[in-house]
Chain A
Amino acid sequence: MRFPFVKAGGVKDHILTAFFIFFAFLMLLTRHDGGLQNIRKVAITAFSYLEEPLSNIRVYRTALQTNRQLHEQNIVLLDELSRLRSAREQNIELKKLLDLKENSTYEMLPVKIVGKNLTGINNFLTINAGSNDSLKIGMPLIHPNGLVGRVIAVSANYAQIMPYLNPLFRVSARIQKTRAYGVVSWETQNIEELVMNYVPQTIPVEIGSIVETSGYSHEYPVNIPIGQVVRTEPEPGMQTQRIYLIPFVSLNEIAEASVIKYTTDAEIDSLLINTMENY
């Protein structure tokens, strides 16, 4: 296939090429002149008409890409937000622990709860302090909100805690307003309630009263909050009543606590043993 006017042979190609290249260089040199700019304007107008339908596809493609980027960014930000929230909660807890330490008359050791076994009846916690930190069996573990439990086993760097949600747990307690004494324990039926026994029926107990440690068992210091009274029931066939309370500390939520380096007085212990042997 040939154009009718290019039958002159190979020389024509050289001339044509030279002409077009010359023309191209001329365009390059005069590209900022008005004439070419007008052509450019016309081209842009025509081109924009052609590109308009395709621009929607590009917008959609860009939107998809933006959506993906935002999704990724959202995940990163959510993760960061979660970590910040956790840090804030931890900060609040640590501040409370610090206040508790400053206000307490006993020596306290802040600990982190590294293990929780709250799946059944025999619930236990594990803390990251042990005999190397002078921890001993029987020391109470408390949270700024109240009592958590007591140390029942100690290794070099860890200790196991029996929390209040354990059927073997007992603590001598009293109702703040009436000074009525009793023993608080967990009866395994309800994981949200503790029971205070041995309080005479003659003592009126208000709902909402605060129950705290009495200090009479010599295992816990006095005035550690335990929980709040929610209801009372008379003990069938006895002159005492059962006082149900909701503990102040949620075992599922705590992450930090403090061990009170409190041990029973050896003299009181020996006196008790002698009394029990003699009578």
Chain B
Amino acid sequence: MNIGAMKYFLWAGIALLLQLLIFRHLRLLGSEPDVVLVFLLYVMANSDRTTSIYIAAFTGFILDIFLDLWGINLIAKVATAFLAYHFIPKIVETKLLVSQIFLIILLTALFHNLIFVGIAFFVQSRLDLLFWNYLIGNAIFTSVIGSFTYLFKST
């Protein structure tokens, strides 16, 4: 594994820590942001698909262990990385506006959450979650956090 890939894994660890320790508790109307997904999108925009799948699998697996979800995050994140990869514009090629970033994160988060909620309902492991709050609320919240991060990184 080269240094670049290790750097991604290191950042993935930081994103996981942030998600588990801080952002998971920043609930707003029953919705919480997913900074791990934002990081995954960053990886998808900067790296190849295989690396993105590995990072998705790693982050999904860790989240599943800590949140007692056993596979749901793993499926949702790997499927998102695999299927949405070609729709994510590469940052090195294009300079995107914040609104474009917001829309990209929103659509990807909606796709990710749809898979997540679908599997969760299928295996009945999180019947308590509020469908619309998770699907729409989380996606919007994640998009806002992602857009701010993009703005911060740009400046």
Contacts and interface: CB of A to CB of B under 8 A. Distances in A.
Q: Do A and B bind each other?
A: yes
Contact of A3 (B2, B21, B72, B82): B2
Interface size class of A (residues with CB under 8 A): 20 to 34
Contact of A21 (B5, B22, B75): B75
Contacts of A54: 21-22
B51 A1 contact: yes
Chain B interface SS verdict (over half)? helix
Interface size class of B (residues with CB under 8 A): 35 or more
B12 to A, nearest CB: 13
A16 B55 CA distance: 12
Contact of A4 (B1, B8, B125): B1
A27 B71 CA distance: 6
B42 to A, nearest CB: 13
A25 B51 CA distance: 21
B70 A3 contact: no
A31 B71 contact: yes
Contacts, number: 92
A47 B64 CA distance: 13
Contact of B75 (A1, A4, A12, A25): A25
Given A3-B1, A20-B57, A58-B25, A13 B74 contact: no
A20 B75 CA distance: 7
A40 B125 CA distance: 15
Contacts of B36: none
Nearest to A42: B65
Contacts of A216: none
Contacts of A27: 64, 70-71, 74
Given A3-B5, A20-B60, A27-B64, 10 more contacts: A1-B46, A2-B47, A3-B51, A4-B1, A13-B49, A17-B53, A20-B56, A26-B71, A28-B71, A54-B22
Interface of A: 1-4, 6, 10, 12-14, 16-17, 20-21, 23-28, 31, 36, 39-40, 43, 47, 50-51, 54, 58
Interface of B: 1-2, 4-5, 8, 17, 20-22, 25, 46-51, 53-54, 56-57, 60, 64-66, 68, 70-72, 74-75, 78-79, 81-82, 119, 123, 125
The 7 closest A-B pairs by CB, nearest first: A24-B71, A31-B70, A1-B4, A27-B71, A6-B50, A24-B74, A28-B71
